[in-house]
Amino acid sequence: MLLTVYVILNKHYIVPYDHEHRSDSVYICISVCLCCAGYYSWRNSVRGSWFVQSLCDVLSLYARTEDLLSMLTRVNQKMANAFESNVPDKRSMHRRKQVSCFTCMLTKALVFEANPANTPNPPSTQPAPK
């Protein structure tokens, strides 16, 4: 599975990618493949995929203090240390691990900041101040 995030960065806010924003914005793409080619992406039948569990845990702990790439590295560390497949009937699939691969085209650290208005949605429709 491949997770791709397109966002627009400018000096004032981060918004989802669209074709309507000003040309002074920086467009970035971050792609995360949940496992390496030729390997498996695992999930727990109750809690869901190892990647999503780890990503949610890491974001809840570090989203305000660390940059995105550091958090993705923490996600890999958590998946490698906290999870292991349990398929004793299939020796080739038993006690396996998962690590994601990510491709990033950032030119500086991407850090999430608290929304100053304390609302759940960022000001995605407002133009950048001049």
The reply to whether 129 falls in a domain is no
The pLDDT tens digits for 91-128 are: 999 999 999 998 887 777 778 777 665 555 544 444 45
| Phi, psi for 11 (deg, rounded to 5) | -70, -10
The reply to whether 118 falls in a domain is no
**pLDDT the model gives residue 31:** 80
Q: What is the CATH number of the domain that holds 29?
A: 3.30.70.1470
Q: Where are the strands (E) in 69-123, listed by range?
A: 101-104
The reply to whether 114 falls in a domain is no
The pLDDT tens digits for 21-77 are: 555 555 566 788 888 877 888 988 899 899 999 999 999 999 989 998 999 999 999
Query: 67: which DSSP letter?
Result: B
Burial class from Cβ neighbours inside 10 Å (0-12, 13-18, 19+) for residue 71 reads buried
Bridge-partner residues for 11, per DSSP?
A: none
For residue 93, the enclosing domain spans 2-104
Domain count, the chain: 1
pTM, two decimals, is 0.70
Q: Tokens for 87?
A: 């398929």
The reply to whether 24 falls in a domain is yes
The reply to whether 77 falls in a domain is yes
| Structure-token match 């560390």, residue found | 77
